Amino acid sequence: MRERYGINVIMHRATDAPYIDLRVDDGDEIQFGQQTLKVIYTPGHTQDAMCLLFKDRIFTGDTLFDRRLRQDGSAGRQCRSATREPGKTQNARRPNPCISGS
């Protein structure tokens, strides 16, 4: 997709994935057009997990999975990491879990 559509691949700096165009960290902002996504680092399930805050929405990936789905409790750790700092997600009123399959 990267080559076909000319998109940039953006992932957290903790990833060891190849072919990353931009590595981001907690608090970074990603500009697209006149809009901005704020990066919130949410390690737990994986060390490179992150959420993206957009106005009143937070895109969580699998951060919102119920902890009972993971025997290692990583989902609970990841949810706690998303809210570890007061005010960080205070405007996020509409969670948007989104998971891509392979």
Q: What pLDDT digit, counting tens, does each position of 62-92 carry?
A: 665 544 444 455 555 555 555 555 455 555 5
Instruction: Decide if 86 is inside a domain.
Output: yes
Adjacent-strand bridge partners of 96: 59
Could you report the per-residue pLDDT of 5-58, keeping only the tens digit for each?
988 999 999 999 998 999 999 999 999 999 999 999 988 778 898 888 998 888
**Rounded distance between C-alpha atoms, residue 68 and residue 56, angstroms:** 27
How high is the pLDDT of residue 86?
45
| Residue 19 falls inside a structural domain | no
**pTM exceeds cut of 0.75:** no
Within a domain: 60: yes
In a domain, 11, yes or no: no
For residue 36, the number of C-alpha atoms closer than 13 Å in the C-beta half-sphere is 7
Q: How many domains does the chain have?
A: 1
Residue among 90, 100, 85 at smallest CA distance from 53? 90
pLDDT of residue 43: 84
